[in-house]
Amino acid sequence: MNLKLPAGDFRAYLLDCDGTIADSMPLHYKAWTKALAEYGATYEEDLFYAWGGKPVRKIIADLNEMQGLNMPVDTLAARKESYYHAQLHELKGIPEVIEHIEAQHGRIPFAVVSGSRRASVVGSLTALGLLDKFDVLVCAEDYKHGKPAPDGFLLAASKLGVASEHCLVFEDTELGIQAATAAGMQSVLVAQPVRESSGTGAKTGT
């Protein structure tokens, strides 16, 4: 397999969704750009990728502060998600991660730990035909402190009944790797496809 895993006695896989299972980051960026334009706000692509793993509502709050705006957090978050869902027919998976999911499905339990809202995660996994492979979904509304805090991963491990040291985390962002480390878990960093538009293989997440 193309994605090499660390050695260990892994009894559960905890996977980020956007940029890790789903090659969804370009679609999320288009959705952000369209939704924010309605409020006269901007979101530079480099910043978008740098903030990979940050929850949607935190992104809006931070953009409000940076740009002196007062965008309605819940309304804008819902608007952005609706634009993302409208693009789901274009969504593709990350092949090297899906290989590992297929290889271990039925042998060990899987959980998604995402900074996105549940509706977004369910939409992505459904579009990829993977929703039924996951025992637990831990999404933005399920925990208070986002990555790099370990809360999401610790909650997922607890729900699966697997000790942290026996969980392997798949992540595409440094924030996610930091969160896994803080949770006492080993991790594997998923490199992103090179984008012809930007010429970079930015490590991404939402």
Catalytic residues: 16
Spatial separation of the C-alpha atoms in residues 107 and 151, rounded to whole Å: 25
Spatial separation of the C-alpha atoms in residues 170 and 182, rounded to whole Å: 14
108 close to 10: Cβ distance less than 8 angstroms: yes
- First-residue to last-residue Cα distance in the chain: 26
Spatial separation of the C-alpha atoms in residues 54 and 45, rounded to whole Å: 14
Q: What is residue 105's DSSP assignment?
A: B
Q: How many other C-beta atoms can be found within 10 angstroms of the C-beta atom of residue 108? A: 16
Nearest in space to 17 (alpha carbons), one of 89, 122, 160, 106:
122
